[in-house]
Amino acid sequence: MSALAVRLRFARTGYGKVGLAGSLLLLALIAVGPLFAPHDPAGIVSVPLQQPSSEFLLGTDGLGRDVLSRVLWGGRSVVGLAVLATALAYAVGTAIGLLAGYTRSLVDPLLMRAMDVLLAVPPLLFLLVLATGAGRSIPVLVLGVATVHVPSIARIVRAATQEVSTHGYVEAAVARGERVGAILRREILPNVLGTVLADAGIRLTASILILASVNFLGLGLQPPRADWALMIAENRGGITLQPWAVAAPALLIAFLTISVNLVADAVARSLGTSTDRKRVAR
């Protein structure tokens, strides 16, 4: 079976199809939505907490900004930062896992004990402590979310690396006198990549969830940025007068996370690593 067929097999399941369609639709909205924004997302354009009208299709928020325009702009940070954090987590986690799995020195137990400690801290607590100590900024936010994923990625890569290193072609490379860096990159990495990326979608969903939660708590991105989670937090006070300013971003986050998770779950299943088993195994 070709690699492409394996990759697309997830799309055959019902949930996978629904998820894929939903994800693509939302990504399109997030990518080109700002082009269609009728007003400046940061500009005060009318009276606060106005009901939906023909000029402001979703009404205005507590400061008199157009909710529709803010919603159209507000998905970029949700998806963009989550993708960034997940990619960073994979880069660092894979490097640590490769090193720990290949080396037979003290480096391995040292690295893995450090990972165990990180796993012992609740992710949200970790991010809150980070926000207290290092302040609220985008780099801190992305680094924090990436750090939350690193230990489990490193563990999986380490186990896969240990298995792959026993193969003849790795021993041949060692016998040829190749440098460690080259062996890790050319011989081992390509063979562990499949195992590692199988749950990339699940991690992306987790990144979106935790980033949005921190932003909602007011400890990540700061106003006046247009961000769905931040919008919900800002407009909760006016929920009785103008429910749309809260409902629109809330429904969009729900739609996004459900779609992405359906795809992630279908991919994981088609690769034979069901989410259920993984969670039990941890």
Partner 1 sequence: MTELAAPELALTGVPSRRRRHPLASFVLRRVAAGVATLVVVSILLFTGTNVLPGDVASAVLGRDSTPAGLAQIRRELHLNRPAPERYWNWLSGFVQGDLGSSVAGQAVSGEPTPISGLIGDRIRNTAVLALCTILLLVPLSLVLGVLSAMRAGRPVDHAVTGISLGLISLPEFVTGTLLILVFAEWLGLLPAVSLIGIDDTVLTHPSILVLPVLTLLAASLAQTTRMVRAGMLEVLRSDYVEWARLSGHRERDVVFRYALRNALAPTVQVIALNVQWLVGGIVVTEYVFGYPGIGQALVQAVSARDVPYVLSVGMLIAIVYIALNVVADLLVVLLVPKLRTAQ
Binding site for partner 1 (CB under 8 A): 15, 116-117, 120-126, 128-135, 205, 209, 212-213, 216-219, 229, 232, 236, 239-240, 243, 246-247, 250-251, 253-254, 257-258, 260-262, 265, 274-277, 279-280, 282
Give the DSSP H or E segment for 6. helix 3-8
- Cβ of residue 126: shortest distance to partner 1, in angstroms? 8
Peptide bond into 48 cis (omega under 30): no
Q: Using DSSP, state whether 66 is helix, strand or coil.
A: strand
Q: Which residues pair with 60 in a beta bridge?
A: 66
Q: Using DSSP, state whether 219 is helix, strand or coil.
A: coil
Which lies closer to partner 1 via its Cβ, residue 15 or residue 92? 15
Which lies closer to partner 1 via its Cβ, residue 80 or residue 243? 243
Q: Which two structure tokens, joined as six digits, stand for 94?
A: 């894979």
Nearest-angstrom CA–CA distance, 72 and 7: 31
Which lies closer to partner 1 via its Cβ, residue 7 or residue 236? 236
| Cβ contact 141:211 at 8 Å | yes
Q: How far is CA 225 from CA 23, 35, 65, 192, 234, in A?
A: 23, 17, 12, 39, 11
- Cβ of residue 252: shortest distance to partner 1, in angstroms? 10
Which lies closer to partner 1 via its Cβ, residue 179 or residue 282? 282
Which lies closer to partner 1 via its Cβ, residue 3 or residue 117? 117
| Cβ contact 245:66 at 8 Å | no
- Cβ of residue 160: shortest distance to partner 1, in angstroms? 22
- Cβ of residue 16: shortest distance to partner 1, in angstroms? 11
- Cβ of residue 27: shortest distance to partner 1, in angstroms? 16
Which lies closer to partner 1 via its Cβ, residue 34 or residue 218? 218
40: left (phi over 0), alpha (psi -120 to 50) or beta: beta
- Cβ of residue 36: shortest distance to partner 1, in angstroms? 24
Give the DSSP H or E segment for 30. helix 14-32
Nearest-angstrom CA–CA distance, 201 and 19: 12
Nearest-angstrom CA–CA distance, 171 and 177: 10
- Cβ of residue 65: shortest distance to partner 1, in angstroms? 19
Which lies closer to partner 1 via its Cβ, residue 186 or residue 277? 277
Nearest-angstrom CA–CA distance, 218 and 136: 9
